[in-house]
Structure 1
Amino acid sequence: MTLLPVTLTAAGAAALINLWLGVRIGRIRIRERISVGDGGNDRLNARMRAHSNFAEYVPLVLILIGLLELALGTSLWLWIAAALFILGRVAHPFGMDGFMPARQFGAATTMLGMLALGIAAIVTAWY
């Protein structure tokens, strides 16, 4: 059986972050008594978008990490790429709450990480 420690670690961390993002939304919903939609609440809308953004990017990046780990094996550069991606995914929601440097860091690590992993996947497939 092949274990994928980088992928498993990143996926486990992503699951915990996803749960945290949902709890952040739930707290506002309970406090403001908003059961559906954002109720015109800007903070709830920002947190919902942070959660949606997470769901939009994480699956593809985890697939890339997993496929690269299967193809090339576990490596330091893949650990670093996964760690930076996860760190950026933690930072981004704080940015959506108003701390712009965190949002910029989160967006940059997501985009650059996806770019690097995508290029690595194409090169690996054809090299």
Structure 2
Amino acid sequence: MAPVTTLYASLIALLFLALSLRVVAYRRARQISLGDAGDPALRARIRAQGNCAEYAPIGLLLLLLVELQSAPPVALHVLGLLLLAGRVLHGLALSRHPHPMVLRVGGMILTFTMIGLAALGLLLHRLI
């Protein structure tokens, strides 16, 4: 049905799960139930997880829509890899202290590039 989107959705779901487990493990180790208790390391882990939750769904939705428009597989994989790599780089950046800005910025550039290319491609496909 949508094999390329299924592949990237599965990989990004595993990434999200890993980011979530890092938050849970840190909370358990520090006995922090709610919020971040002013702990900058926990705050960074929460933001890494939250940022993935904020950007991955729109990227995956756009990838699915592009796939449903019968885009060439190579285009789908380029978009999927941009999204996956962007989310991995961003998650890695927020998982380290201090945050390596090159990874964080690189992750956002890749994610924004994927979202922009997919959105423009869909728009042009509809208008032309």
Percent sequence identity over matched residues?
Answer: 32
1:126 aligns with 2:124: no
4+ runs of 1 displaced by more than 3 Å? none
Equivalent-residue separation in structure 1 for 2:126 and 2:115 (angstroms): 16
SS at match of 2:69: helix
- Letter in structure 2 aligned against 1:121: L
1:36 aligns with 2:19: no
SS at match of 1:9: helix
Q: Which runs of 5+ in 1 are unaligned?
A: none
Deviations 1:4-51 (A, max 9, x none): 121000110111011001011111101111011001100110111111
Instruction: Output the TM-score relative to the length of structure 1.
Output: 0.92
Compute the displacement of 1:74 (Å). Answer: 4.4
1:110 aligns with 2:108: no
1:15 aligns with 2:16: no
Equivalent residues of 1:6, 1:74 under 8 A apart: no
SS at match of 1:72: coil
Equivalent residues of 2:63, 2:118 under 8 A apart: yes
Q: Which runs of 5+ in 2 are unaligned?
A: none
Q: CA RMSD, aligned part only? A: 1.1
Count of residue pairs the alignment pairs up: 125
Deviations 1:40-80 (A, max 9, x none): 10011011111111111111111111011011244202101
- Letter in structure 2 aligned against 1:89: R
Instruction: Output the TM-score relative to the length of structure 2.
Output: 0.92
